Amino acid sequence: MFKLNPNLKSGDFLSLVVLLLGAFIVLLPLFVVFLTSFEPTAASPENLCKNNWSLANYRVAWQQGKFLLAFANSTLVAIAVTAFQIVTSASAGYALARLKFRGRQALLLVVLATLVIPFQLLVIPIFLVLKWGHLINTYGALILPTAVNGFGIFLLRQYFQTIPVELEEAAAIDGANRLQILWRVMLPLARPALVTLFLFTFIGEWNDLFKPLVFTTRPELRTVQLALAEFQEQFTNNWPLMMAAVTIATVPVMVLFLIGQRQFIQGIAATGIKN
């Protein structure tokens, strides 16, 4: 049974109550979605309390929404974009954190400036570039526009600055060059930041509807979110079936986040230590 700590201060108790209330507010819609997805008939408060649950909605949603192909496409795109961002962010972040070169601060300001520019504002020039490169309706159109991200560069730059320089100096004395130091010293120590970037990027790409909607028209390139949007248009009034489809599209990223949440919290906490 849950017991409160007798030494808990009033301020800590109030914080606990606020956090529990916030968790309840956030989790309640998810619980309703999950509960509704098992309802075999039109959802209603009376039906939700009964034990007539069924997995039929999940089978129908999976088949009608053709989620197998959509899952494969979303996984491929999310992993490819995440891999590109980890490589580019680690390289650029390390250069901005450790290398001394002219214009470093100006370059950092440019990277930060990209964070305030919405992707939708750049869609026309990006579309023209992709069309010039004959990449429209290809996986390249879903991967390349977000292969580099200013947030990832800044995140790893901040984390690299929390790592003692003495570790790099010791590796340099042993004969390691800059690339070896980055690969063998910095990246293993920056695991929390890398996991954080991985989660942010993968979940963002998995939930992205804009790029597939604008840059692709081929059915074989449908992603999960595009398939979900088309499924919702087809079954507008069938709430249990729609909730089953939403659950199917949401569960993978929820599981992924739960697996990496500890590293995620460490990465977010550590990146603000040193400017």
**Which superfamily does 57-270 belong to?**
MetI-like (1.10.3720.10)
| Neighbouring residues of 190: CB distance < 8 A, sequence distance ≥ 6 | 90, 156, 159, 160, 163
Q: What span, in angstroms and rounded, lies between the C-alpha atoms of 177 and 179?
A: 6
CA distances from 76 to 88, 142, 202, 247 (A): 18, 10, 10, 20
For 135-156, how does the pLDDT look when each residue is reduced to its tens digit (9 = 90+)?
A: 999 999 999 999 999 999 999 9
- Structure-block tokens of residue 89: 């962010």
Q: Look up the pTM and report it.
A: 0.84
For 189-239, how does the pLDDT look when each residue is reduced to its tens digit (9 = 90+)?
A: 998 889 889 999 999 999 999 999 999 999 999 999 999 988 888 877 788
Domain spans in the chain, listed from the N-terminal domain onward: 11-54, 57-270
Residue 92: pLDDT over 60? yes
On whether the CB atoms of residues 270 and 64 are closer than 8 A, the answer is no
Confidence (pLDDT) at 269 = 62
